[in-house]
Chains A and B, each alone.
Chain A
Amino acid sequence: MGLAAASSIGLGMPNLPVARVVGHPGVQSKDMLERNVLEVTLEQVIDNLLKAPQAAGAGDEPGARDVIVKGGFQEINDYFYDNGLSDGLPIVPPTREKVEQFLRFTDRDPGESLGALLPDSRAATIWSIAVNGVMAGCRPEYMPVLVALIEAMADPAYGVEHSGNTPGGETLIIVNGPVIQQLGFNYTQGAMRDGFRPNTAIGRFWRLYLRNVAGFLPHQNDKATFGNTWRVVVAENEDVLKQIGWEPNSADFGFAAEDSTVTIARYTGGNHISSVSGATPEAMMPYLTDAMIRQYSWQLMFTVGQGMGTLRPLMLLSPIIAETIAGWGWSRRDLKRHLFEHARIPAREFERILRDWTQKPTWNLAEEARAGRIPKVFHASDDPGRRVPLVWKPEDYMLAVTGDLTRNSVYVFAHNGVLGYPVAKRIR
């Protein structure tokens, strides 16, 4: 109910009537659910259809460039926190002078909007990007990265409107290209650890912007069951990529190696796999395929079901792993092909997972494949024990090389499918 009320404001229907289903349907017997619907929900639905809700108007808000509070550092921070405008950590007060420093690093008009972001339907203006960049502790020279990130956030393919969903996934940002050296991103040991300003502050900026402009606040539009805080930005180790002859992640999105880019996607979790051992790719791959399989259960509904071919698993490889695999002549494409062909589970298990986690009681991959709704690889035979892939095609796997130069580890992210699909943008 709270989510419906919060979302309806941003959609321009603040008085949209909603009816309540008592409790959570997922934990009720059929009898209990029927009783709750007939005794409570039915009456409210009928009222909503027959009785006109009270007229509603837009609430008063400050102007886009208004000063909203004046005072000392603590006063400013208390005001921002008390009004839901910060994440609980101290912010850098966004003064006009600071904002203008950021604006000097872009030739875009401060009033330009990159789109209206749901659920609040606020304009993603260059001005608001600068304001939130200041607050997050970014340096002014990060501004082109921040603009590219909000271009990505506003891309419909990403689906920002899903950012407050139950699984509470969090966006991972990957940067590629010369910007890594120019801004001093960490891309070696502790690649996902705070402590490096561009990685940390830009990661925080992303979450502040989701809060302040898209409108995702916990207890309102953000319904993450558990959630987690923003992720530190990951930069690829392009020194190692050059040495081993692999293209960067950004190449998968059509960018050249000399392009600086950001890539975003939402992940509901992940796992670190230590001590991946072996002197050859063949010896290492069982670790990697096993890690991939173990990271995916309910998310398979984004391969077949709710998402249909939108699952894009991401694997981070430490440089030693990438060097060893590449040393035997394998390209990134070879590695993806291997994951596609070997990270597989029995068809009967895939169907069980779909049955357990979707509203459809019976799943038949053979039927879906025959109807042309999924690739034929899911029905190579009628054997229920045949092994089927986790994704539609090898290119659905994403890879990035980063992390400690002396560790043989990988990290697999559980992707949120259509509810945070990968999008990449050039940093200009």
Chain B
Amino acid sequence: MAGNDGYYEALWPRSPRQARVKPLAKRLDTLAGKTVAQVWDHLFRGDEVFEFLEAGFKARYPGVRFVSWREFGNTHGSEEREVVAALPQRFRELGVDALISGMGC
């Protein structure tokens, strides 16, 4: 302890995280014949990125099917909470096997 620098016992300024670690969904064995949903936040040219990905998938996996981001609404904006809350039910209705969500930056 140097000179008049004092002595302190400082507390942690954070607080415990409330989110517990969740297991991720089981991965698919193949993408052939599967249904893949696209979810988009209407940013960073995701519409084009999804278009390119879709073409790349279809060239490799016969029968892979996509549900367009147009089905789900914008995941970033005034209606984002409603859109995200509705996703699980929409996925069940549409028989979705896997999901690609974009675009971050």
Q: Does A251 contact B (CB under 8 A)?
A: no
Give B4 Cβ to nearest chain A Cβ, in Å. Answer: 9
Question: What are the residues of chain B within 8 A of A49 when measuring CB–CB?
Answer: 27-28, 31, 36, 98, 100
**Stretch binding the partner chain, chosen from A121-129, A258-266, A325-333, A339-347:** A121-129
Contact A72 B5 (CB under 8 A): yes
Complexed CA–CA distance, A287 and B30 (Å): 64
Residues of B close to A124: CB separation below 8 A? 15
> B-facing mask of A160-171, CB < 8 A → 1, else 0?
000000100000
Known interface pairs A3-B105, A10-B17. Does A94 touch B10 (Cβ–Cβ under 8 Å)? yes
- Once the chains bind, are B12 and A62 in contact (CB under 8 Å)? yes
The complex places the Cα of A116 from the Cα of B19 at a distance, in Å, of 9
Interface string of B41-58 (1 = CB under 8 A from A): 011111111001101110
- A95 lies within 8 A of B13 (CB): no
Q: Does A212 contact B (CB under 8 A)?
A: yes
Q: Quick check: is A4 within 8 A (CB to CB) of the other chain?
A: yes
Contacts A94-B13, A359-B45: A13 and B21 contacting too (C-beta < 8 A)? yes
Which residue of B is nearest A223, CB measured? B105
Kindly state the separation between the CA atoms of A73 and B9 in the bound complex, as whole angstroms: 10
Cβ of B104 and Cβ of A71 under 8 Å apart? no
| Distance in angstroms between the alpha carbons of A335 and B29 in the assembled complex | 64
Are A306 and B103 interface neighbours, CB within 8 A?
A: no
Q: How far is the CB of B24 from chain A (nearest CB, A)?
A: 6
* Interface flags, A38-52, vs B, CB<8A=1, else 0: 100110011001111
Tell me if A411 counts as interface (CB < 8 A to partner B): no
A81 to B6, CA, bound (A): 18
Nearest B residue (CB) for A94: B11
Other-chain contact of B10, A61, A93, A166 (Cβ < 8 Å) = A93
Taking a contact as CB atoms under 8 Å apart, the answer to whether B44 and A26 are in contact is yes
A50-B27, A50-B31 are known contacts. Are A418 and B16 too (CB-CB below 8 A)?
no
Of A14, A45, A132, most buried by chain B (CB within 10 Å of CB) is A45
A interface residue count range (under 10 / 10 to 19 / 20 to 34 / 35 or more): 35 or more
A61 near B78: Cβ-Cβ < 8 Å: no
Q: How far apart are the CA atoms of A3 and B77 in the complex, in Å?
A: 19
Residue from A14, A18, A25, A80 in contact with B44 in the complex, judged by beta carbons closer than 8 Å: A25
A135 to B60, CA, bound (A): 57
Contact between chains at B17 and A128 (CB < 8 Å): no
CA distance in complex: A141, B24 (Å): 46
Contact B12 A65 (CB under 8 A): yes
Expressed in whole angstroms, the minimum distance between the Cβ of A355 and any Cβ of chain B is 14
* Pairwise interchain contact B20-A58, C-beta atoms closer than 8 A: yes
Let me know if A120 and B44 touch, CB within 8 A: no
> Beta-carbon contacts of A131-162 to B below 8 Å, as 1s and 0s?
11001000000000000000000001000000
Query: Are the C-beta atoms of B11 and A65 separated by less than 8 Å?
Result: yes
> Is B9 a contact of A30 with CB atoms below 8 Å?
no
User: Cβ of A370 < 8 Å from any Cβ of B?
Assistant: no
Bound state CA distance, A49 and B52, in angstroms? Answer: 17
Smallest CB–CB gap between A272 and chain B, Å? 30
Binding site for B on A (CB under 8 A): 1, 3-4, 10-16, 18, 21, 24-26, 30, 33-34, 37-38, 41-42, 45-46, 49-53, 55-58, 61-76, 79-80, 85, 93-96, 99, 113, 116, 120-125, 127-128, 131-132, 135, 156, 166, 208, 212-213, 223, 305-310, 358-359, 418
Provide a sorted-by-A list of 15 A–B residue pairs whose CB atoms are within 8 angstroms: A13-B21, A21-B44, A41-B53, A51-B27, A52-B27, A62-B12, A70-B8, A71-B1, A72-B6, A79-B10, A94-B11, A96-B11, A121-B18, A122-B15, A213-B13
List residues of chain B with CB under 8 Å of any chain A CB. 1-2, 5-24, 26-31, 36, 42-49, 52-53, 55-57, 60, 74, 76-79, 81, 98, 100, 103-105
Q: A122-B14, A123-B15 are in contact. List 6 more A-B contacts (CB 8 A).
A: A14-B21, A46-B60, A50-B27, A67-B10, A95-B11, A122-B17
